[in-house]
Structure 1
Amino acid sequence: MSDNGGPSFQDCRSPAKSYSTSELKIVRRRFSVRMSFINQDTESNPSVDKSTPQHSRRCQNGRSPKLKESVMTGQLSVKERLTKHNAVLLHVDHQEGLYTGVRDIATLELKHNVIGLTKAALALGIPIVVTTTTESMWGPMIPELAAALAKHDVIERTTVNAWDDPRVVRAVQATGRKHIIVTGISTDVCLAFPAIAALRDGYTSYAVVDASGGFSQIQVDLGVARMVQAGVVPVGYSTVAVELLGDNAAPESQAVYAGLGIPFSNMVFGLKQYWQSSAQAG
């Protein structure tokens, strides 16, 4: 129970649904159909050298290793690296009602990751755009994120895909940055839809999978697979933050690691402060 007597987020959680063999067969069949179209396209493509060992050697799923690499890497082929100078963070639909349905990650861990990424972005001076959908239906933004972004305007919209709201697009465009880091509840909709849409509009999209959550594990898996096939780059909350930091000697480094709340980094900084105070005392 929560402090006000109502149900807490943890009270609303239930064990993840187990899927039957027949349901899993349907998913595998759909993937097989999609892969068959990819294989047919490869066979009919005159630019593919079919005499090479790469073409004759097939992966278990029927794709050539070369084709598999091109599908899985997507936007990793871009020349410009992700930095704190070219990135913008987009938070989508981190709302109380939606959090009660998350099943692939513990609620407290999800909040920890979202807030950690947000604090790291603030420390690095990275622009943050935040949007919610139909708060009368899905509730307000979670209080922890609202507190961290107290000085930011929240764009409340009605569209399912955040990228379909012109205000969201304009807010991202106003930053002048072309690398967009996206989080969302749920992973397969509120994260995947805008990440893919931004990609089509010329952005390099990064999906922060562990700062997002889905209503079942299979929905999350399918959402991530769809994003990767489209060219979105999947990342973790702390991984993308330290990539943005770039240099542990940077003046923002301690604030970034403190914001991320990684246990080992907290211990390292604690030891650093201890040795510094010991040296001064001696």
Structure 2
Amino acid sequence: MNQSQFYQRLTRDNAVVLLVDHQVGLFTGVRDIDTLTLKHNVVGLAKAALALKVPVIVTTTTESMWGPLIPELAQALPNLERIERTTVNAWDERRVVDAVKATGRKHLIVAGISTDVCLAFPAIAALADGYNSYAVIDASGGFSQTQVAMGVARMQQAGVIPVGYSNVAVEMLADNAAPEAEAVYAALGMPFAGLVFGLKQYFSPH
């Protein structure tokens, strides 16, 4: 593995976000992270990506079994068509791979439920196809802490880079003076963000 891949920066121009199976039924089984926090994080990631015009691809699996996309995410991405599939590994669905490939971007930011399957399988598989994979651990969830730990370990051994929902967003933002900065921080819903922008206005010259 080329060690330099770990130091390639994520930008709004080289990244694509893949959200895998954030479905109502699967949410009920999540045990490693509070489900309200999980919703907050994945919706924040999606909104931040939209603010930066980073492509977002959403896939679900067998909705007749696992239910629809969580409503909060569906509302955040109102004009986005999700790809419903039956394959366990999202990367085995040609429509998902084609959607990612069509963006022309090689840095794949993935989140999914469960962490050890819906996240790990496509994140690892994409590496074999020449993508740099980033696994958003806190925008994903698993059915036990052990399963999550094993999933993260397996991804790291394969070369997937574990990240958090807010750090990938601000890495893509790159500059707090960018016109999208306020929208990105608002999307992330970080508790101090309102204070920061309030102070900025307070200290701005009049």
Q: TM-score range by the shorter chain?
A: over 0.9
Q: Which one-letter code corresponds to 2:196 in the other structure?
A: V
For residue 181 of structure 2, the aligned residue among 231, 239, 253 is 253
Q: Which one-letter code corresponds to 1:229 in the other structure?
A: Q
- Alignment partner of 1:77 is 2:4: yes
| Residue 266 of structure 1: how far off its partner (Å) | 1.9
TM-score, structure 2 length as denominator? 0.96
Secondary structure of the 1:251 match is: coil
**Which position in structure 2 is the counterpart of 1:87?**
15
- Alignment partner of 1:119 is 2:32: no
Identical amino acids, percent of aligned pairs: 73
**Which position in structure 2 is the counterpart of 1:25?**
none
Q: Which one-letter code corresponds to 1:169 in the other structure?
A: V
- Alignment partner of 1:97 is 2:51: no
Aligned residues: 205
Q: Is the 8 A contact 1:75 1:204 kept in 2?
A: no
- The alpha-carbon distance between structure 1 residues 110 and 174, as it changes in their structure 2 partners (threshold 3 A), is same
For residue 132 of structure 1, the aligned residue among 48, 60, 66 is 60
**Which position in structure 2 is the counterpart of 1:18?**
none
Worse overlay, 98-107 or 266-275: 266-275
Q: Is the 8 A contact 1:75 1:232 kept in 2?
A: no
**Which position in structure 2 is the counterpart of 1:266?**
194
| Residue 271 of structure 1: how far off its partner (Å) | 2.5
Secondary structure of the 2:58 match is: strand
Q: Distance in 2 between matches of 1:92 and 1:185?
A: 7
**Which position in structure 2 is the counterpart of 1:240?**
168
Worse overlay, 94-103 or 261-270: 261-270
**Which position in structure 2 is the counterpart of 1:160?**
88
**Which position in structure 2 is the counterpart of 1:215?**
143
Equivalent residues in 2 for 1:178-217 (5 A)? 178-217=106-145
Q: Is the 8 A contact 1:185 1:214 kept in 2?
A: yes
Q: Distance in 1 between matches of 2:191 and 2:117?
A: 31
Secondary structure of the 1:104 match is: coil
Q: Distance in 2 between matches of 1:158 and 1:75?
A: 34
Q: Distance in 1 between matches of 2:79 and 2:137?
A: 26
CA offsets per residue over residues 159-201 of structure 1, 9 Å max, x none? 0000000000000000000000000000000000000000111
Q: Is the 8 A contact 1:75 1:233 kept in 2?
A: no
CA offsets per residue over residues 104-142 of structure 1, 9 Å max, x none? 000100001001111110010000100000000000000
Q: Is the 8 A contact 1:163 1:169 kept in 2?
A: yes
CA offsets per residue over residues 210-246 of structure 1, 9 Å max, x none? 0000000000000000000000000000011111111
| Residue 265 of structure 1: how far off its partner (Å) | 1.7
- Which entry has the higher C-alpha Rg, 1 or 2? 1
| Structure 1 portions without partners, runs of 5+ | 1-73
Q: Distance in 2 between matches of 1:106 and 1:244?
A: 26
Give the aligned CA root-mean-square deviation in angstroms.
1.3
Runs of 4+ in 1 over 6 A off after TM superposition: none
Q: Distance in 2 between matches of 1:274 and 1:114?
A: 31
TM-score, structure 1 length as denominator? 0.70
